[in-house]
Structure 1
Amino acid sequence: MDQVIEKVLKNLEKRKIKAKYFETKEDARNIILEEVKSNMTVGIGGSMTVKEMKLHEDLIKSGNTIYWHWLVEPAQMSDVRKKASIADVYLTSTNALTEDGELINIDGVGNRVASMFYGPKKVIVVCGVNKICSDLISGIDRIKAQACTKNATRLNRRTPCAATGQCNDCQSPDRMCNVTTIISGKPEEVDLNVYIVGEELGF
């Protein structure tokens, strides 16, 4: 484990946010599957990291009830997002994690970021080392340059960033950068856990 990761872990703990480090996504997945019992409901926020780890597939096999709007038809998405927000466990990632231990996220609907700090009993945020940034400014820059543009392209959004690969701070009807949050400490009513993985995951 290098010095940057050690610094992030210590600063998360200072902020009363539980933190663990795993060398591989397989190690992280195994621990998560141990922690999430088969009788627990699981909400999932829009996350390429969770998808890449195939956590939802393993949890479905374990008999968990999964609420993830990516798995349902458009007409059901709103209802599923609401159910996910009050699940026993909420799984997601973060768009950026600063060396000081702050989680930065930019959302379109807002369900993912809201559920990270209010609603579920336990939140597990899985974060690849590619999302660690030096500070808040570099974190926001990273999100706009990488996460937002790639998500816009993935979702076929008609935004300037989907066409150019660069943020233009647009006011497009398809704009996704609508809600920006910074988690600077443990939310009072949520058991917040950040699991850092020594691999590149998501974007």
Structure 2
Amino acid sequence: MNERIKIVINNLEKRKIPAKYFSTREEAEKEILRETKNFKNIGIGGSMTIMEMKLHETLANKDKNVYWHWLVEPEERDETRRQAANADVYLTSTNALTENGELVNIDGMGNRVSGMYYGPKKVIVLCGVNKICHDLVSAMDRIKKEACPPNAKRLGLKTPCSITGSCNDCLSEERMCNVTVIINHKPMAVDLKVYIIGESLGY
């Protein structure tokens, strides 16, 4: 663990958000399985990090009920989002994590970010080292350049960023930058933890 990550973890814990560092995704997965051992219902917020880790498959193989709207038909997505938001454990990632310990996220619908601070009993946020930023300004810059455009392209959205690769602060009907949330401190009603993984994961 390098000095920068130590600073991030220290600042998260100052904000009453427990944090751990794992060198590899495999190490993080073992800890998640331990954390979820006594829980049946697992919700997942849209996350390429979790998709790349195939955590949903691992959890399903452990006989967990996994609620993730990415895995169901369009007509089932709203109900699945609600089930995820009320699950025992909610897993997701973050678009950016500042050195000062702030979690910064931009969402299209808002279900992912709302699940991070209200609803589930336990929330675990997974963050690859590629998402650590110096401050709030660089965090927003990262999201607008490295997270939203490739995600819009992946989803086939008709937004300027999906074509140009950079944010135009558009007013497109398919705009995905609709809800911006900064978690400055542990939310009152949620057991929130952050797992930093020493790999480049997600957008």
The TM tier, using the shorter chain, reads: over 0.9
- Which amino acid counterpart does residue 82 of structure 1 have in structure 2? R
Structure 1 residue 40 displacement after superposition: 1.9
Gaps of 5+ in 2: none
CA contact (8 A) 2:39 2:88 kept: no
Match in the other structure for 2:74: 74
Match in the other structure for 1:104: 104
Match in the other structure for 1:5: 5
Q: Report the Cα distance in structure 2 between the residues aligned to 1:17 and 1:38, rounded to whole angstroms.
A: 21
SS, match of residue 117 in structure 1: coil
Structure 1 residue 14 displacement after superposition: 0.1
Identity of aligned residues (%): 63
Q: Report the Cα distance in structure 1 between the residues aligned to 2:65 and 2:58, rounded to whole angstroms.
A: 12
- Which amino acid counterpart does residue 155 of structure 2 have in structure 1? L
Match in the other structure for 2:55: 55
- Are 2:144 and 1:170 aligned? no
- Which amino acid counterpart does residue 197 of structure 2 have in structure 1? V
Shift of the 57–38 alpha-carbon distance from structure 1 to 2, 3 Å rule, reads farther
SS, match of residue 8 in structure 1: helix
Match in the other structure for 1:150: 150
**1:101-120 deviation line (CA, Å, top 9, x unaligned):** 00000000000000000000
Aligned residues: 203
Match in the other structure for 2:26: 26
Match in the other structure for 2:36: 36
CA contact (8 A) 1:38 1:64 kept: no
SS, match of residue 114 in structure 2: helix
Q: Report the Cα distance in structure 2 between the residues aligned to 1:54 and 1:96, rounded to whole angstroms.
A: 21
- Which amino acid counterpart does residue 72 of structure 2 have in structure 1? V
Shift of the 39–187 alpha-carbon distance from structure 1 to 2, 3 Å rule, reads closer
- Which amino acid counterpart does residue 119 of structure 1 have in structure 2? G
- Say what the alpha-carbon RMSD is for the aligned residues: 0.7
SS, match of residue 57 in structure 2: helix
- Which amino acid counterpart does residue 145 of structure 2 have in structure 1? A
Structure 1 residue 39 displacement after superposition: 4.4
- Are 2:162 and 1:179 aligned? no
When normalised by structure 1's length, the TM-score is 0.99
Q: Report the Cα distance in structure 2 between the residues aligned to 1:101 and 1:167, rounded to whole angstroms.
A: 25
SS, match of residue 181 in structure 1: strand
- Are 2:196 and 1:196 aligned? yes
Q: Report the Cα distance in structure 2 between the residues aligned to 1:197 and 1:191, rounded to whole angstroms.
A: 20
SS, match of residue 43 in structure 2: strand
Match in the other structure for 1:132: 132
Q: Report the Cα distance in structure 2 between the residues aligned to 1:129 and 1:155, rounded to whole angstroms.
A: 24
Q: Report the Cα distance in structure 2 between the residues aligned to 1:153 and 1:5, rounded to whole angstroms.
A: 31
CA contact (8 A) 2:60 2:66 kept: yes
